[in-house]
Structure formats: C-alpha cells, structure tokens
Amino acid sequence: MSMQRRDAYLEGQMLIAMPAMSDPRFQRTVIYMCAHNAEGAMGLVVNKAIDSITFPDLLRQLHIEPATPFEGILVHSGGPVETGRGFVLHSDDYRQDATLVINGGFALTATIDVLRAIAAGGGPKQRLMALGYAGWSAGQLDAEIQNNGWLVCSPDEDLVFSRDLQGKWDRAVHKIGVDPAKLSTFSGHA
C-alpha cells in the first residue's frame, strides 16, 4: 500500500478485535490505523510481540551498530502482510522525507534511517518497531466493521506505546466504555 496521504476514514484511530474474531492472527488485537481510504487500509498491531527476534538482533542483521544497548525495545508482529518489512510507528517529533505524519501526534516511518537514528541515541521520543502490517483491500475493512468484527477507539500514547501488551486489549475496550464481559462472542446483525 502506498504511504502517500489521502482522504482519511479511520486513519489515526484504533481497531479493537471483537471476541468473535475468527481469524486467529487477529484475536484480541489492537491495531493502530496508519491509512484508510477508498483504496484500502493499512494498520499495525500494537499488542503482539515477536519472541524470536529482539531489537538488537534486528540492528545486527541490518549491520547497524547501536551507540547504547537497546534491550527495552520490543519487535512487534505488525500483521500478516509483508512480514519481512519493517515499520516504526512513532511520535511526530521525528520526521524525514519518507515519514507519513498521521495525526494526533503519531507518524510512521518505514526506512532504515529511523533505525539508524534510534541506534545513535536519537530518533523519535516514542516508538514501536513492527515487522509486517495488517492490510485490507477496498471496502474489506468496512465490511468487517459492519459484520461486528471490530470496535473503534481513539489512540493515546499509552495505548499505542506501552510495553504492557497483555493489557492493551482490555484497556482499549474500557476506553470506549464497554465491559469486555458483555461483548458477544458471536458476530452478525440483529
């Protein structure tokens, strides 16, 4: 999906998977929507880490020498599309020509330069490293929302960047005033 800005729909919002989500890759996920328009949608799962690779491992694979150790940065599974491609969702205090400024203080950069900046001790103040992304073709996400597959909430820095991945789904549901115990595990229309 192109990273050029277009008219936004759910861009800059978060999706919360409903309990009835049948796709195991998205069960109990929270997704930050980086782009959503008539052509499709793209987002990053913010509450699933990849256990098989660390940020220092990733830097070594890219031949980037860090100025300081980076054991605290998690590598997230951003979604099932292009799982070898890296994205950094971050605060908008860091920008380069290839940075997509989304809104509400969030931006996305998918170039190696942002990793070099982070490794050098700079880069964005808040950041989330992800491999892969969640993508939808034209109208697909809209249909999933109509079929009660997703709830929508506004983002905040804690919900996006917190290292407490296990609690993000519950916090997102509570943020919109819903008791998770009362959500149906069935999908469909009344």
Sign of CA dihedral 139, 9, 168, 177: negative
CA distance 183 to 156: 23
Which helix H or strand E contains 90, and what residues bound it?
Answer: strand 81-91
pLDDT digits (tens, 9 = 90+) for 51-83: 899 898 999 999 998 887 776 789 999 999 999
pLDDT digits (tens, 9 = 90+) for 161-177: 999 999 999 999 999 99
pLDDT at 184 over 70: no
Dihedral-angle region of residue 135 (phi above 0 means left; psi in -120 to 50 means alpha; beta otherwise): beta
Name all domains of the chain by residue range, CATH numbers in brackets.
Answer: 18-182 (3.40.1740.10)
What is the reported pTM?
0.89
Structure tokens at 151: 């709830």
pLDDT tens-digit readout, 91-131: 999 999 999 999 889 999 999 999 999 999 899 999 999 99
